[in-house]
Amino acid sequence: MNQLVSRLKGRSELGLAALLGVVGAAVILDGLSLSVPYSQADPVGPKTMPFIVGGLLLVCAVLLAVNVLRGGQGEAESGEDVDLSHPTDWRTVVPLIGAFVLNIVLVDTVGWVISGTLLFWGSAWALGSRRYLRDAIIAVVLALGTFYGFYLGLGISLPAGLLQGVL
Amino acid sequence: METFDLLMQGFSTAATPLNLLYAFIGVLLGTAVGVLPGIGPAMAVALLLPVTYGLEPTSAFIMFAGIYYGGMYGGSTTSILLNTPGESATVITAIEGHRMAKAGRAAQALATAAIGSFVAGTIGTALLVTFTPMVVDFAVSLGAPSYLAIMVLALLAVTAVLGSSKLRGFASLGLGLAIGLVGLDKVTGQQRLVFGQPLLVDGLDIVVVAVAIFAVGEALWIAAHLRRKPLSTIPVGRPWMGKQDWKRSWKPWLRGTAYGYPFGALPAGGAEVPTFLSYVTEKKLSKHPEEFGHGAIEGVAGPEAANNAAAAGTLTPMLALGLPTNATAAVMLAAFVQYGIQPGPLLFDNEPELVWALIASLFIGNTLLLLINLPLAPVWAKLLQLPRPYLYAGILFFATLGAYAVNLQAFDLVILLVLGLLGFAMRRYGLPVLPLIIGVILGPRAEEQLRKALQLSGGDVSGLWSEPIAVGVYIVAALVLAWPLLAFVLRKTRGPRPETAAADQPAAVPGTDLDAPAGGQNLRPVASPQDEHVDERIKERP
């Protein structure tokens, strides 16, 4: 048991292999569930492509798992603002996702201006900005600006929500 | 001469005041996103797609063309002043250009990059004008089997040639093809991968997929590893070059262009290989090989030209065949589909005005870029001071807005988040994102050709290789896949060459390991120990 734990440690990439396997299996099962009579006009049918894609994913899942267990590792992407010397900073990522989810939940009811303001302000906060007032002003200006910009410039009415009648 | 007339008509469309304005907006935006870290031209075009629904397609594409070329100019500014390449094609610029900048020659590095980009972009676009109609003439005679073969080649090549791990490339491709399957099958009307969810019946909106993978995934990834202490930038004045710099730059520009265009035009080309080749060539031909690695102007001029010429080359298969081979071309192709324009060889017949205005605007944009980049480089460099929380919060804000505005349904934002998290995981585990996005775009079209091809042969599999061109293309595809093996066998039979880059990097990009005996070690992205090494050497100099 302990041996298993130590072998799995630092191999979170196996999760990715599992994901590939699950997606591959889902694609193939979904393909199997299709029922179409053979037709002269379409000898390939809608099932062939799912089988090819699902097969590719399953093969990749197995090979990736083998590769990871044998010590292989994907090369994390670098970039100008990316510092790979410290581990994933979940204390930034989780609040960021939280701000995103909050917007998904709220946008249809409270409207874009409020939810968009919260999205920007919350994201800036999560990313480490602590100038609350300046952040809030920028957030409101962006949300209001895009609301009117989309309405006047593109003819797209983003939801006004709670502020219906005010805006 | 027919081409010339069409091009002139393109200029007259592109030069209307309104379209010139869009070209100008495009190059400004393109330069800005090129300079800003964490945001590239592909992401910029993806974010702008929803906003451009109301525009004429021609105007929108003129703007996209400006962003495409502008991103190259801006990217080189960042590489030279910051020493961290935003993408693999600017690795070389980051090495040589940054060392020039450290040695007090930032102005010359920026100038040779900008002017070289202009020269290469202009020649590259002229080559595009010359060759694309020929490719179209050839392509219209192709049948479904040949098309399928070419698409398979493009998919395999983008997956197997670029990036360091083929396995991870294929995993990414598989995910992209699976995303492309979601929705109604066009021929039979069967629902695939819909899971009873009515909102999935129409398939995943390509704009949402592109924004999720490029913008949300990237922003989350950078947030997870945000550099707390931003890199120091090198202050810079107005770029200029002395007589000696011109003398040392013009040949590398031309040679870089000669490498860049054909590689960009190949279905798997990309800009990485030609920039490496150009660097190695310049090092070999230079009268000052000892300067390479310490800021040789040829080492900036050549690769930058190659990078820009490759960008022009990429547009050849994109416009002539509907084959995207880099991220920005892929998103632009998605834009064609959004506008209901069918990409492929018939594009030139169906939409001549749009295509030629787009090409003419490349010339215009390139000239505008030179004009705004040379005098304004110090202003652009100021963009690097933008507080990072605002930059990445802004990316998430506009990504959300764009994805939401497509259909005004919150469900799209759920998809955006799920695929954004996928993009995050892919960056974490080294899965390249390009095969995914190309898989999403080309997958459904490849399936269509597959079914057409076998319909013609009545279900007989031999229908797939019933055209000689298809056979030829499959042979090339097999060679692309077998290349590492072949190279390995060749090297074995020729005897070991311990100093090659290929020896310790079996999966390195083919081509670079052909002519890179001594330069090989320098070609990998900048490592900081090496950097300090050079700092010491610079200090040692009187």
pLDDT tens for each residue of B304-356: 999 999 999 999 999 999 998 888 899 999 888 888 898 888 999 999 999 99
Residue whose C-alpha is closest to residue B132's, from B362, B288, B366:
B362
Q: What is the pLDDT of residue B512?
A: 38
Quick one: tokens of B203?
């398939």
CB B356 within 8 A of CB B10: yes
Name every chain A residue with its beta carbon within 8 A of the beta carbon of B389.
123-125, 127-129, 135
Quote the crossing angle between the two packed helices B106-139 and B2-14, to the nearest 10°.
130
Pick from A40, A46, A75: which is nearest to B187 by CB? Answer: A46
Name every chain A residue with its beta carbon within 8 A of the beta carbon of B393.
120, 123-124, 127, 129
What is the distance between the alpha carbons of residues A43 and A38, in angstroms, rounded to a whole number?
Answer: 7
Q: What is the pLDDT of residue B79?
A: 85
Separation in Å, CA of A54 to nearest CA in chain B: 8
Q: What is the pLDDT of residue B86?
A: 62
Residue type, position B317, single letter: P
Contact A123 B397 (CB under 8 A): yes
Q: What is the pLDDT of residue B305?
A: 95
Separation in Å, CA of B259 to nearest CA in chain A: 26
Question: Counting Cβ atoms within 10 Å, is residue A89 exposed (0-12), middle (13-18) or buried (19+)?
Answer: middle
Contact A88 B225 (CB under 8 A): yes
Quick one: tokens of A115?
């939810």
Pick from B187, B397, B429: which is nearest to A74 by CB? Answer: B429
Quick one: tokens of B439?
């898989």
Quick one: tokens of B122?
């202009």
Distance, C-alpha B450 to centroid of its chain: 27
The backbone torsions φ and ψ at residue B183, rounded to the nearest 5 degrees and listed phi first, read 120, -165
Which residues sit opposite B184 in a β-bridge?
B191
Report which secondary-structure segment, H or E, holds B515. Answer: none
Pick from A36, A72, A74: which is nearest to B190 by CB? Answer: A36
Quick one: tokens of B191?
């629902």
Q: Which residue of B has its CA nearest to A96?
A: B220
The strand ranges marked E within B152-293 are: 183-184, 191-192
Contact A13 B429 (CB under 8 A): yes
Contact A63 B417 (CB under 8 A): no
Separation in Å, CA of A9 to nearest CA in chain B: 15
Separation in Å, CA of A146 to nearest CA in chain B: 8
Q: Tell me the domain boundaries of chain B.
A: 2-540
- Distance set, CA A17 to CA A57, B60, B165, B287, B482 (Å): 9, 40, 15, 51, 24
Name every chain A residue with its beta carbon within 8 A of the beta carbon of B387.
129
CB B525 within 8 A of CB A78: yes
Q: What is the pLDDT of residue B509?
A: 40
Name every chain B residue with its beta carbon within 8 A of the beta carbon of A13.
429
pTM: 0.86
Q: What is the pLDDT of residue B85?
A: 66
Query: What does DSSP assign to residue B96?
Result: I
Separation in Å, CA of A114 to nearest CA in chain B: 12
Q: Which residue of A has its CA nearest to B439?
A: A53
Q: Indicate which of A42, A48, A49 best probes the interface with B, i.e. most B CBs within 10 Å of its own CB.
A: A49
What is the distance between the alpha carbons of residues B75 and B328, in angstroms, rounded to a whole number?
Answer: 14
Q: What is the pLDDT of residue B521?
A: 36
Pick from A44, A104, A142: which is nearest to B414 by CB? Answer: A104
Contact A78 B413 (CB under 8 A): no
Q: Answer whether residue A28 shows pLDDT above 90.
A: yes
User: In 3-state terms, what secondary structure has residue B226?
Assistant: strand
What is the distance between the alpha carbons of residues A80 and A93, in angstroms, rounded to a whole number?
Answer: 18
Residues 6+ apart with CB under 8 A from A141: none
H helical segments located in chain A: 2-8, 13-33, 48-69, 90-110, 112-126, 132-148
Name every chain B residue with its beta carbon within 8 A of the beta carbon of A30.
192-193, 195
Residues 6+ apart with CB under 8 A from B238: B107, B374, B375, B377, B378
CB A161 within 8 A of CB A118: no
Separation in Å, CA of B256 to nearest CA in chain A: 25
What is the distance between the alpha carbons of residues B470 and B268, in angstroms, rounded to a whole number?
Answer: 17
Quick one: tokens of B487?
């190279």
- Please identify every stretch of chain B with a pLDDT value under 70, giving residue numbers as ranges: 1, 84-88, 162-163, 230, 268-269, 494-542
Q: Which residues of B346-369 are buried (b: 16+ CB within 10 A; e: fewer)?
A: ebbeebeebbbbbbbbbbbbbebb
Contact A42 B455 (CB under 8 A): yes
Task: Report which of residues A53 and B324 the model is more confident about.
Answer: A53
Name every chain A residue with its beta carbon within 8 A of the beta carbon of B173.
56
Neighbours of B376 (CB within 10 A): 15
